[in-house]
Amino acid sequence: MPIYEETYRSWEGSLIPRPRTWRVIGKTGIRLLWKKGMILFILLAYIPFFVRAVQIYLMTRFGEGTPLAEAVQSLKINADFFHGFLQGQWLYLILILIFAGAGLVANDRKYNALTIYFSKPVGFWDYASGKLLIIAFYGALVTLIPAWLLFIIKVMVSQDAAFLNQYYYIPFSILAYFLMVVASLGVLILALSAAARSTRSAAVFYFAILTFPEIIRGILSRIPEAGLFSLNAVLRQAGAGLFGVSRPYVFSPILAWLVLIGVSGLSVLILHWRVRPTEVIK
Amino acid sequence: MPQKGLASEMNAEYIKENRKQTRHRPVNKNTSTNQHAGFYLSVQLQDFTIQYGALKAVRSVTLEFGAGSTGLLGPNGAGKSSLIKGLLGLVPVASGSALIMGKSVVAERKAIRQVVGYMPEDDCLIPGLTGIGMVQYAGELAGMSREDAMQRGHEILFMTGLGEARYRKVETYSAGMKQRIKLAQAIVHDPKLLFLDEPTSGMDPRGRQEMLDLIQIIASRGKMSIVLATHILVDVERICRQVVIMDKGAVLEQGLVDELRGSYQGSYTVRVEGDEKAFVQWLEKKGCRVSPGEKQHLDVSLPKGKKTGLILEGAKQTDVRLRKLVPGVQTLEDVFVKRIGAESIAHL
């Protein structure tokens, strides 16, 4: 343990000319959340993964080509399987996003931390990217990583290269789906965190935005376009296009993409409006 | 009105002083006055204006800060904090230009922020981090490597008196400790220029003294220039060599603290025995300004060009006995009150 003098000494080192501050922000945020017990959420989110992994093993080794496998579509290991797995992770993803994202900007605003950030060589995009990296990391742990692992398991337990030849695009579809989720749901939770002053209100608001439109969709189920109200439905519809599977809703996938772009754009605007170095009282 | 070129004089004096000091210091080949000269014009402002809606917080300020420590002095709402925030790019600049160490505050904002430290006035913390975590984080954001930031963070926390509390969450810190951690995060990367915005606000007298001691140590030991924004005169008198007095967003006075104090020449403290009233009337007829001072003394300001002989003549003419005649001592407070008061009257 070095002995420190209680006086000021100049630092002889040199600064990195253009520090990648977004990486510093992201890494520090990831570490902080990890210490807060994110591992418990993540372990919970891996229960479906283990079930699916067992399914892949059993179906590949013993089930393929059997009458049962042919009869029950959901047992087949194909693009639908991976799309379905990602859809099944929805609840865990939302919980992770709320736990990880609701306080990311709200707490910084509450403690005036933005002044400290912006007095360093940090710009708005560095800050926003850093915070989004935190969300992306934890989002990846419950979507991208297990889905990729499932694909690898399937390839490994397969006797031949037929599956790989047929579904070589699936890892890219998983990645595209993940990026779509981060760019929409991830940026949305950041925007709500910036708009709210407390973590709790950001979490409640986020939950409400995801739940109430789902109820409206249920009530207006006879109207095909009602699905556009629900982010879950919109993501399913857009995701189906990415995996090349049959669309679950009748509304146009272009409309689904437009809704997602709109949500992301609006979220960035809110974030830009609320993330300011200092509060100016006019 | 701000005087253009004054900073050059201040710099000349600073360098002269620096040379004087280096003569007495042990010679270190790595330290030369030229190192200071490289950034001796820390800040240059030209018609610099900060506006919040219709309110002009900083009004067309043109001034230059030299190296060393500069006090930004003014009452609340004078525009000191806005000026600093404008220089750091934390609030938009309405018009004018500003350079920090030769770099434009608008075009080279990030480069400036890397070599500048800022201790904000408000409570600012990065939640969830320990003291060492926050200082290390600040260092990394400024461009230090993780290892350097960690090592330097420990050093700075010991220096600021937070060594024992460095593993505690910053949210649990007392008001005084929060001030210290703000200072620590501002100096961890050893900035060339340090902005301190009301560094002693909300601190108890002991804490205030300790904070001023710290700032004084940094000012004397480090190679960094300091800009101290405060409304507390004694803090400026203690820390700063240069001062800029602001009110209502404008610069009222600027110069070396010692010069401003001394610019009250022609002022005397007088005590007389006898017909004081007649003596005062006589002096006032001759153009002197006379005001009652402390302990039955009179503060006499002579008209320009007149000397103490006028006071002696007055005493002779009015037949009073002169018991005391000493040069008046002007504190920074006198200058401040005089300037702020005069401006306020002018605004009425």
Q: Is B126 in Cβ contact with A7 (below 8 Å)?
A: no
A180 with A236: CB under 8 angstroms? no
Q: What angle do CA B123, B124, B129 make, to 5 degrees?
A: 125
Asked whether the beta carbons of residue A6 and residue B52 sit closer than 8 angstroms, the reply is no
* Cα separation values, A270 from A25, A87, A186, A234, Å: 20, 28, 13, 21
Q: pLDDT (tens digit, 9 = 90+) per residue, B107-123?
A: 888 889 998 999 998 88
The answer to whether residue A113 sits within a structural domain is yes
Q: Which domain holds residue A236?
A: 21-274
Neighbours of A72 (CB within 10 A): 10
A282 found inside a domain: no
The total of structural domains in chain A comes to 1
- In this complex, is the C-beta atom of A1 within 8 Å of any C-beta atom belonging to chain B? no
Which segments in chain B show pLDDT lower than 70? 1-41, 222, 261-265, 329-335, 337-348
Tell me what the mean pLDDT of segment A6-19 comes to.
Answer: 81
Residue B19: the pLDDT is: 42
Does a structural domain hold residue A222?
Answer: yes
pTM above 0.95, yes or no: no
Q: Give residues 93 to 152 of A whose Cβ lies within 8 Å of B.
A: 107-108, 110-113, 115-123
Mutation site for A-interface testing, chosen from B91, B123, B140 by largest number of A Cβ within 10 Å: B140
Has residue A168 been placed in a domain? yes
- The pLDDT value recorded for residue B346 is 47
Indicate if the pLDDT at residue A183 is higher than 90: yes
Burial class (CB in 10 A: 0-12, 13-18, 19+), B281: middle
pLDDT tens string A105-140: 999 999 989 999 999 999 999 999 999 999 999 999
| Residue A11 lies inside a defined structural domain of this protein | no
Q: How confident is the model at residue A169 (pLDDT cuts 50, 70, 90)?
A: very high
Interface test with A, best of B35, B155, B182 (most A CBs within 10 A): B155
Facing residue for A116 by CB, picked from B85, B109, B185: B185
Question: Is residue A249 in a domain?
Answer: yes
What is the chain B residue with the closest CA to A23?
Answer: B141
pLDDT per residue as tens digits for the range A245-280: 888 888 888 999 999 999 999 999 999 999 888 766
Contact list in B for residue A121 (CB cut-off 8 A) is: 110-111, 113-114, 141-143
Beta-carbon count within 10 A of B150 CB: 17
- Structural domains of chain B ordered from first start: 6-260 (3.40.50.300), 266-329 (3.30.70.100)
pLDDT score of A53 more than 70? yes
Q: Is B159's CB within 8 Å of A277's CB?
A: no
Query: Which residues on A lie below 8 Å from B126 (Cβ)?
Result: 108, 111, 113, 116
What single DSSP character describes residue B130?
Answer: B
Is residue A15 one of the residues assigned to a domain? no
Any CB–CB contact under 8 A between A7 and chain B? yes
Q: What is the 3-state secondary structure (H, E, C) of A55-86?
A: HHHHHHHHHCCCHHHHHCHHHCCCHHHHHHHH
Cβ-based contacts of B90 with chain A (< 8 Å): 115, 118-119, 277-278
- Tens of pLDDT along A210-223? 888 888 877 877 77
> In b/e form, how buried is each residue of B109-131, taking b as 16+ CB within 10 angstroms?
bbbbbbbbbbbbbeebbbbbbbb
User: What is the pLDDT at residue B340?
Assistant: 66
Residues of B in contact with A277 (CB under 8 A): 85, 88-91
Polymer length in residues for chain B: 348
